[in-house]
Structure 1
């Protein structure tokens, strides 16, 4: 990271090259920004190596890969808003009769993982650009925030409606959070970088808790409308362009504003599976049930859906955790 003492972390009417000298954020790290004058906060992220590590564990067809990639981007955009670094954001989409049976992703302290279960034959019939209804039927999207420090949990559930999973998440913000929001998600294959996915989350800053109207009760916030209109011009090709830094994208959109920027937590693949972890979980079952689970070799075999690995856990190892 390179710093310019005179303008590190913010710019107004700067040249793009100056912005590039301030910070360079390319892959697997969110860029957090605020536009104080317009009461706007936002996040940009582009996934590359971490995304390819996650999807490499499975043989996903293109439609499923794109859906999971966009869902992982959405998970990062939402999870990185957690103030509790040990907290977890879980995104889960379940089918209402479509070929996608389950989609689950989670984010915890920069660790990211995701998994997609589907009916291959039925998925092949929906074409290359299916609607959410074609993928999920009358499914739903559940977004769960777990605050580890306080033990609080909050969950919002909305129908899987609209043109993309990003559209469904916007409905979540409208109905559950009551915060005006814009979401843009995109994913594609790059000849050199593999699967690349990017996203933008833009929100009106909450205000009006004391002596003001609550934000969601008002319908005339031109500052937000202006910022949203500009952000909506961001193209999918820009979000997924490996040659364009996230700072440059933010500058292109808001170079007439004073924008404060800061790098978020660096992302990593976060599958938490291990023999020791699974042994601890299995130890919570009664011994008789553990005996019934075991195979002829005396192992309880666990299949981790996230990383597509098999873990044979010996009964005696499980017993040490009891």
Structure 2
């Protein structure tokens, strides 16, 4: 049995495992994406550097989206001036996602020639937006992070530092495993957050206050978040030791990885969330969208065969309509 097949049988892929380490006052999640991310990336046929970056974005989105406590949508979107000028990953709670990337072919060719293929180099300068949409009756929440050549991990840290004010560490990994005669994409990630009961443990000092009364604790800001709490520094350091192969190994279950990291402290593992790839497009949605266009715009979209066609950029499904159907609202098959 191939490694990926065995992983599917064992139920190790396409799931998110929530966990908590009470001794360190941290909580988090581990994600392993197998067939779901391979389906998305294989469908689009992106160059390997682009697939890797979109895989990272998908793993990050699933990590964050599975934290939603309601039926809604979490979206990660980037807009920038690099070889990948846009990415969109939609997570539809509680368990499915889709993803797409746009490519600037000239800039990608230049990046490959110069070996400038890190995530930050491929994205360039722009912004990353994370949007929580609870439905039509609730105001959407959006957090925005400036992209200045940093990794998606670093962008996530910035997002939580400025928008949520929660010390957070993320590790992401994307790669291929050759099974059944072809390389198959895999993605993984781990997120840990410091959630102490006492807010005093989240205090940070920008500068040293100088002389202080005897017994007064001075926060030194040794952590990148400015948090000097020993428990958080230990948890953060442990997560930073996680290597890509540990996130991608199809036979290393998430629970085993958590044991490796936190066996001295004791990690409490909760019921996993199974996730899968799925698109939100439908004939009805596309028809409604077309009816929102101006008549002259719809006319310009009519092909030589007299049909009005639309291809979903997420799943590549092709929808074809008789122009009369769009105009008068009468249902017609295609």
Name the TM-score class by shorter chain: 0.7 to 0.9
**Equivalent position to 1:69, from 42, 55, 61:** 55
Distance 1:206 1:300 in 2: 57
Distance 2:271 2:146 in 1: 33
User: Which 5+ residue runs of structure 1 have no aligned equivalent?
Assistant: 1-23
Q: In the alignment, is residue 126 of structure 1 matched against residue 111 of structure 2?
A: yes
Q: Which has the larger radius of gyration?
A: 2
What corresponds to 2:25 in structure 1? 39
User: SS in structure 2 opposite 1:273?
Assistant: coil
Distance 1:312 1:27 in 2: 35
RMSD across aligned positions (CA) = 2.4
* Distance change (3 Å), C-alpha of 1:149 and 1:32: farther
Distance 1:122 1:286 in 2: 34
Distance 1:92 1:310 in 2: 24
Higher mean Cα deviation, 105-114 or 282-291? Answer: 282-291
User: Which 5+ residue runs of structure 2 have no aligned equivalent?
Assistant: 1-9, 206-226
**Equivalent position to 2:235, from 217, 227, 232:** 227
**Equivalent position to 2:76, from 79, 91, 108:** 91
Output aligned runs, 1:97-176, within 5 Å.
98-109=82-93, 110-127=95-112, 130-148=117-135, 151-161=138-148, 163-176=150-163
User: SS in structure 2 opposite 1:37?
Assistant: helix
Deviations 1:33-73 (A, max 9, x none): 01122210111011110001111221211100101111100
User: SS in structure 2 opposite 1:306?
Assistant: coil
Native 8 Å contact 1:187 1:196 kept in 2: yes
What corresponds to 1:20 in structure 2? none
Distance 1:302 1:240 in 2: 36
Native 8 Å contact 2:17 2:272 kept in 1: yes
* TM-score after normalising by structure 2: 0.80
User: What's the offset of the Cα at 1:297?
Assistant: 4.8
Native 8 Å contact 1:178 1:216 kept in 2: no
User: What's the offset of the Cα at 1:123?
Assistant: 0.8
Native 8 Å contact 2:25 2:194 kept in 1: yes
Distance 1:161 1:207 in 2: 34
Native 8 Å contact 2:26 2:192 kept in 1: yes
- Which is bigger in relative contact order (C-alpha 8 A, separation at least 6)? 1
What corresponds to 1:196 in structure 2? 186
Native 8 Å contact 2:72 2:134 kept in 1: yes
User: SS in structure 1 opposite 2:44?
Assistant: coil
Q: Count residues with an aligned counterpart.
A: 294
* Distance change (3 Å), C-alpha of 1:47 and 1:68: same
Distance 2:184 2:303 in 1: 39
**Equivalent position to 1:53, from 39, 45, 52:** 39
* Distance change (3 Å), C-alpha of 1:94 and 1:286: closer
Distance 1:161 1:25 in 2: 38
Native 8 Å contact 1:132 1:161 kept in 2: no
